[in-house]
Amino acid sequence: MEETLYFAYGSNINLEQMEHRCPDAQLVGPVTLQNYELQFRGSGFATVSPKKGSVVHGLLWKLTPKSEQALDRYEGYPRHYTKEQVSVRTTDDAAVSVMAYIMAEPMSRQPALPSPYYYRAIQQGFEANGLPVESLEEAWNRTIDEIWLGKVERLKNGKNLQTRKPER
């Protein structure tokens, strides 16, 4: 089995965490995924979704079959994340076809904030690799907006936000 080129955009851009999960993976370098948006979904984990004009910053890794199997387990493939081929751009603007884990339905439809630990792990990865932390902050802010917009829409549609009846 040959090596797989893998696009990481969430906690797998954290070098310490990736070293722990996949010690034989090789870092290739920073890349971008054009016309996609970074999102927090499901139980507050990162995913990417197509969005024209948006960019997701991340890292390109070379995975051995052993590393890919370890990531499959970590990412909950195929139940929580699927594997898709996407085209990323390197720093010299070359297009490279790579594998990315993308959150599966129906979890990918539900916005959810990440835990502070998970967010900080991604933030540390952005900082250590010279990626723009602002794009991570924007994903956080969009998630907050989506959560609140969903609550407002339910109120407009006459749906009560409470899940249980008030006590008397």
Mean pLDDT of 54-75: 98
What pLDDT band is residue 153 in, cutting at 50, 70 and 90?
confident
For residue 150, what pLDDT is reported? 78
DSSP, residue by residue, 52-74 = EEEEEEEEEEEE-HHHHHHHHHH
pLDDT single digits (tens) 77-114: 999 999 999 999 999 999 999 999 999 999 999 999 99
For residue 40, say whether it is annotated as part of any ligand binding site: no
**119 within some domain:** yes
> Domain for residue 149, yes or no?
yes
Which DSSP category does 32 fall into? Answer: E
Please tell me what DSSP assigns to residue 129. T
* 165 lies in some domain: no
Is the confidence at residue 156, as pLDDT, over 80? no
pLDDT of residue 1 exceeding 70, the answer is no
Task: Note whether residue 161 is domain-resident.
Answer: no
Here the CATH number for the domain that contains residue 37 is 3.10.490.10
Half-sphere exposure of 66 (CA within 13 A, CB side): 6
Mean of all residue pLDDT scores within the chain: 94
Please list the active-site residues: 75
Minimal CA–CA distance to 32: which of 79, 111, 87? 87
**Is 139 annotated for ligand binding?**
no
In the chain, alpha helices (H): 15-21, 65-75, 116-128, 133-156
Query: pTM value?
Result: 0.89
Nearest-angstrom CA–CA distance, 36 and 166: 42
Rounded to whole angstroms, what are the CA distances from 139 to 17, 111, 119, 132?
21, 11, 11, 12
Instruction: Judge whether residue 163 has pLDDT over 70.
Output: no
Query: What is the Cα–Cα distance from 111 to 42, expressed in whole angstroms?
Result: 6
- Residue 87 domain-assigned (yes or no): yes
Question: Residues 16-61: pLDDT tens digits?
Answer: 999 999 999 999 999 999 999 999 999 999 999 999 999 999 999 9
Known binding residue 74? Answer is no
7 is in an annotated binding site: yes
3 state SS of 9: coil
Number of domains in the chain: 1
